[in-house]
Chains A and B, each alone.
Chain A
């Protein structure tokens, strides 16, 4: 269970920091350090499942919500982002459904703060 989480975490780090060897090695060390720190936990305890869930969440975050960017040239405020297939992308659903409950969308039909 913990091993699967560790493998998953290493895979995510490989996806998130592909091509950036320093960062990849640092991420692996950090993962290892955290797993070593929890080595003493008893199998099946509540704490261990909490830690495994944490590792899975970190892996998911690294995979889906971390993108690396590289400055295009010095001084310019432009970065080329390496967005990959696993990166989470919004579909702008909440912009459409937001009308009615928010102040911005409420003006047309319903009254906001009856006053």
Chain B
């Protein structure tokens, strides 16, 4: 009796679990008819992450998130200088303490921990993007 109760509750839980919106594997060659509907924007917000969701981050998404983060960082005075190649201190006018704060914020954004040695080497947006792309567990 106990076993059937467990089975029943498990079945219910399985039914209640959210279904993944995106298919696990997309066909390599898409027919041109459906192309427009299937392309998802790079900054696609997915409220539920399934285990089957692909883990890799696209370069554009990483860059976009880092740029947004810097845009909202109050020490960056001149946001017009903010590009994919900007250097934290030369272009954005950040000092070394600000750079540490930016790297910490990037850690929080991608929920990873960057070791001190690597963190000291990140001085520009490009460095940061490259580092995040090289991390398999960044998300």
Contacts and interface: CB of A to CB of B under 8 A. Distances in A.
A41 to B, nearest CB: 14
Interface string A21-58: 00000001000100110000000000000000000000
Interface stretch (A2-10, A76-84, A94-102): A2-10
A32 B116 contact: no
A14 B100 CA distance: 14
A6 B97 contact: yes
Contacts of A7: 100, 103-104, 116, 119
Interface of B: 96-97, 100-101, 103-104, 108, 116, 119-120
Interface of A: 3-4, 6-7, 10-11, 14, 28, 32, 35-36
A106 B10 CA distance: 61
B48 to A, nearest CB: 23
A107 B119 CA distance: 58
B24 to A, nearest CB: 34
7 contacts: A3-B97, A4-B120, A7-B104, A7-B119, A14-B108, A28-B101, A36-B97
A4 B97 CA distance: 10
Given A32-B97, A35-B97, A3 B120 contact: yes
Contacts of B120: 3-4
A38 to B, nearest CB: 11
Contact of B104 (A4, A10, A35, A36): A10
Q: Which 4 A-B pairs have the closest CB atoms?
A: A7-B100, A6-B100, A10-B104, A4-B116
Contacts of B103: 7
Contacts of A36: 97
Contacts of B100: 3, 6-7, 10
Contacts of B104: 7, 10-11, 14
A6 B120 CA distance: 12
Contacts of A35: 97
